[in-house]
Amino acid sequence: MDFFADEEYLRRERAKARELRQSQWWKNRIAKGICYYCGAQVPPKELTLDHVVPLVRGGTSTRGNCVPACKSCNSKKQSLLPIEWAEYLAGFSGKREE
């Protein structure tokens, strides 16, 4: 069954994400300056908060679902689920898992 994220749910979760970005936990995560997805070294201020499972797909703004991502990866990933993102990346590497 598909998840339908209504506006109230999205509003609440985005507010939680804003709070999470102000936490010491998040500041420690971005201090390393490493994108969760591509592993690139990025200035900490350029890292964005990405929801591994996107809010519109039922994800939550919790520590276990939020990771630092470079703007490029975050923009490309959009609302893909982890398995969909892995398939997307595999398509660029020329490798397909069997």
Distances (CA, A) of 67 to 49, 72, 92, 94: 6, 14, 22, 26
The pLDDT-based confidence of 2 (bands split at 50, 70, 90) is: low
CA distance 27 to 5: 28
What pLDDT digit, counting tens, does each position of 10-68 carry? 999 999 999 999 999 999 999 999 999 999 999 999 999 999 999 999 999 999 999 99
Query: For the residues 69-78, what does the mean pLDDT come to?
Result: 94
CA distance 88 to 6: 27
pTM for the full model? 0.84
What structural domains does the chain harbor?
A: 7-93 (1.10.30.50)
Residue 93 confidence (pLDDT) = 62
| pLDDT over 70 (residue 97) | no
